[in-house]
Amino acid sequence: MAIVIAHDSYVVALTAHRTVARSGFTDAERDRMEGFRPHILRCYRQALERVVAKLTPTDRLRMAFPGLTARQLDVATWLARGKANEDIADILGLGIDTVKAHVKALYRKIGSESRLAAAVVAHTALPFSDMPPLWTLEPEAWGNFSSPTR
């Protein structure tokens, strides 16, 4: 028996299992489990909102668009704060043409066509919106786990 909550391209699942020797779940037990659905969904949404509310524009962009380079994130941070290309160049110690190239690459990667649109994306992008489903990650992404001994 499971409660499955879809979120973008992911799902959150809460499952209940019986031991081998037990009979299947009764209708009453399934109804009780189904009664938890709105509460679990509310808790999940509240937790997600709390985490997202604490993210800086740089963190949002780093998570939502993992293909951005470190320098593109630096430029995006200052762009999201309303800085002009000339100011960004001075702050980061770059040439104006280099900043313009980073801004152009940033627009392409995040799908915006203007400074305002890029700033809005930086302040509102949901984390993990461009991440692969977990089951496609290589085993190394899960950490260094040793196999259980028998």
pLDDT of residue 87: 97
Pairwise CA distance, residues 83 & 53, whole Å? 23
pLDDT of residue 41: 79
Q: How confident is the model at residue 3 (pLDDT cuts 50, 70, 90)?
A: confident
- Other CB atoms within a 10 A radius of the CB of residue 96 amount to 13
DSSP H helices, the chain, are 27-53, 57-64, 70-80, 85-92, 96-110, 115-124
Pairwise CA distance, residues 69 & 94, whole Å? 15
Using alpha carbons, select from 51, 113, 108, 117 the residue that is nearest to residue 80.
117
53-57: long-range contacts, CB 8 A cutoff, minimum separation 24: 55/127, 57/119, 57/122, 57/123
Rounded mean pLDDT, 54-69: 88
Q: How confident is the model at residue 129 (pLDDT cuts 50, 70, 90)?
A: low
Q: Which residues, other chains included, contact 140 with Cβ-Cβ below 8 Å and sequence gap of 6+?
A: none
Q: Quick one: fold of 57-124?
A: Arc Repressor Mutant, subunit A (1.10.10)
- The most confident of the ranges 25-39, 42-56, 82-96 is 82-96
Ordered by start, the domain boundaries in the chain are 2-53, 57-124
Pairwise CA distance, residues 134 & 141, whole Å? 9
Q: How confident is the model at residue 135 (pLDDT cuts 50, 70, 90)?
A: very low
